[in-house]
Chains A and B, each alone.
Chain A
Amino acid sequence: MKTLVGLFLVLAVLVIVPAVEYAFAAGAEPGEYLDRRVVIWNLFFRMMTIAFVVGAVVSGTIIWQVWRFRESHPKAKPTPYEGTDW
């Protein structure tokens, strides 16, 4: 889990920080507002791509494990905690 958290934080930094930097890279001069819109749309599409990829992986994992780890599955075996007062 620590590895997962670490990986997630690294990904978040890699995606969000550069995107915010891009968004603020443009100056306050007139006419540059449109550039910011482009940048923010770009950020949006990247976020949505990440969200849907992660969502598909996690949802698929949940569906698979619901099928695989159900107690009626032929390969189901007792967990190490069964029979203890965990």
Chain B
Amino acid sequence: MVLELQKPRPIWQIMFSTHHTDVGLLYLIMSLGFLFLGGALALAIRAELFLPGAQIIGDAMTFNRIFTVHGTTLIFLFIIPFASAVGNYFVPIMVRYKDMAYPKLNAIAFWMIPPSGALIWLGFADFTWYATPPYSIISAPGPAADMWIFGLKILGISSVLGSINFVVTILKCKHPDMSIGQVPLLAWSFLSSSLIILVAIPTFAAALLMLLTDRLGVTGFFNPAMGGDPIAYAHLFWFTFHPEVYVLVIPAIGMMYEIIPRFSRKPIHSYGSGIFAFVLLSIVGFSSWAHHMYATGMSFTEKTVFMVGTLAAVPASALHVFNFVATMWNGRIRFSTPMMWAVGGIALFFSAGAGGVANAAMPLDFTTHDTYWVVGHFHLFVMGTIAFGSIGYLYYMYPYVTGRMYNEAMGKVHFVMSFIGTVLVFFTQHVLGLYGMPRRIFDYPPIPEWIAMNQIASIGAMIIGVSMVIFLVNMVYSSGKGKPANPEDPFGVGGKYYYPFEAKNPSH
């Protein structure tokens, strides 16, 4: 049994290990660290917007820096590394292999992330997580912008290395007795998202290089003054980052596929439709990137094509939801903390998806473009679905990682407060967008409706903030003082867990 915190080892032994559970633990701790850092920035943003006028941040430039680093941190340094943590822990076990296919490459992929996180945080760029050109080329202050570009470049390489490892581990290292049709859905989710990364990331890697050379004045790809076109950057960026949304959401859905059958005390209703939906999402994720650019003068035909391409994701997403509903049907559901997070995640996934359907249609998109509707929609996906699935899975894997149980009551309070806070913040932001409030603004006119809705959203954010403090206390305290977990069945629901009890800790 591998119980890192129960069986203490010198920290350097874990840090320099290449074993998949050790690398998984490093990913886990680092991603949670960045969750709290990025979350603190979110609270600063919401505190600033509580009332019109400068409140706590002082000036627009600092505000821009804060939301740029907030977005970059939570997407690239929390969500993706957290998924890697889960994948590192569980994928080798699920395909019945001793480790990842390339353990050293795996450790290298992890160790590329802290320097890139340092570049992003020490630079503290101000040009949004989209690195908006031509501002990012012409006047974004250096070296912050350049540090951000290098940070993202390193993160991209790390993602590609990690993805190669997952693909090879799943396809080439799975047990000979195991067909690809028997690989658990969580591992399938990693296969799907890794393939998306391998296809999508090189485009953004090229765009980053072009952005850098533009900043150096060598080229003018995206610089209108030199004949370039910022819209070209938008295409390159969204060709990578719309599929990237699925890279974020697919592993979270995979995690729900582990939790929901377990706590419903029955197998997943339809394994085949889960695989089908993952593969379908991976493909249609590439048919919708230009829906981010309806307002840039595209032709009607182009817009219609991308609208239909976007809507093609609906059946695939609905398949997952129907699968979860059918799995819970006739179950005997234990609402332990992981299950509460998973079911809450499904409900918010559906709400976020409904907002996406509305957003995909051109008429509404023109109304909501660059408003708080978009902020609400995106965050409802990222927080309501991806973070909910991830945090639920963290509670699920907690007994395995620490050998101890977390405090169940605190876990449930964490969920309830986060659910209420999420609804308050992000549902309200949808309405705020329909009332016309633009996104990415430091100050706003004292319109009574805007003030009221901003205050509701800020209060919701504070509720989430308090719940995250409870979460942190629970995690830290329980890892040392929690009740010892029953390693065979920590949640008392029976069945066969994919817990790596038999994983050994050899040095590779």
Residues of A bordering B, CB below 8 Å? 1, 4-5, 8-9, 12, 16, 20, 23-24, 33, 36-37, 40-41, 43-44, 47-48, 51-52, 54-55, 58-59, 61-62, 65-66, 69-71, 76-86
Contacts and interface: CB of A to CB of B under 8 A. Distances in A.
14 contacts: A4-B322, A5-B276, A8-B318, A20-B308, A55-B350, A62-B347, A65-B325, A66-B335, A66-B343, A79-B264, A79-B332, A80-B266, A81-B266, A81-B495
Given A36-B300, A55-B350, A82-B265, 15 more contacts: A1-B270, A1-B326, A5-B276, A12-B314, A16-B311, A40-B363, A44-B358, A58-B322, A59-B347, A62-B328, A62-B347, A71-B332, A79-B332, A85-B495, A86-B496
Q: Which 5 A-B pairs have the closest CB atoms?
A: A1-B270, A44-B361, A79-B266, A51-B357, A79-B265
B357 A47 contact: yes
Interface of B is mostly: helix
Contacts of B328: 62, 65-66, 69
Contacts of A78: 265, 332
Tell me which of B333, B335, B362 has the highest count of chain A C-beta atoms within 10 A of its own C-beta: B333
B346 interface: yes
A11 B264 CA distance: 30
Contacts of B358: 44, 47-48, 51
Contacts of B495: 81, 84-86
Given A48-B357, A62-B343, A9 B332 contact: no
Contacts of A24: 301, 304
B332 A69 contact: yes
B330 interface: yes
A85 B496 contact: yes
A1 B273 contact: yes
Contacts of A77: 332
Given A5-B273, A65-B328, A82-B265, A55 B361 contact: no
A80 B350 CA distance: 30
A59 to B, nearest CB: 6
Interface in B322-366: 322-323, 325-326, 328-335, 343, 346-347, 350-351, 354, 357-358, 361-364
Nearest to B328: A65
A43 B361 contact: yes
Interface string B265-285: 111011001001000000000
A16 B343 contact: no
A59 B318 CA distance: 12
B361 A61 contact: no
B266 A59 contact: no
Contacts of B346: 62
B315 interface: yes
A16 B329 contact: no
Contact of A1 (B269, B333, B361): B269
Contact of B354 (A9, A33, A51): A51
Nearest to B269: A1
Given A37-B363, A65-B328, A81 B319 contact: no
A16 B269 CA distance: 28
A5 B357 contact: no
A1 B343 CA distance: 20
Nearest to B346: A62
B332 A76 contact: yes
A79 B308 contact: no
A8 B338 CA distance: 30
B128 to A, nearest CB: 28
B53 interface: no
Tell me which of B267, B270, B304, B496 has the highest count of chain A C-beta atoms within 10 A of its own C-beta: B304
Nearest to A83: B494
B321 interface: yes
Contacts of A36: 300
B315 A8 contact: yes
Contacts of B321: 58
A41 to B, nearest CB: 5
Contact of B319 (A5, A23, A54, A83): A5
A79 B273 contact: no
A23 B314 CA distance: 20
A78 B300 CA distance: 56
A84 to B, nearest CB: 8
A44 B264 CA distance: 37
A4 B311 CA distance: 18
A81 B263 CA distance: 12
A61 B343 CA distance: 12
A41 B334 contact: no
Contacts of B304: 20, 23-24, 40
Contacts of B323: 1
A85 B358 CA distance: 44
Nearest to B331: A69
A33 B300 contact: yes
A85 B347 CA distance: 30
A79 B361 contact: no
B354 A55 contact: yes
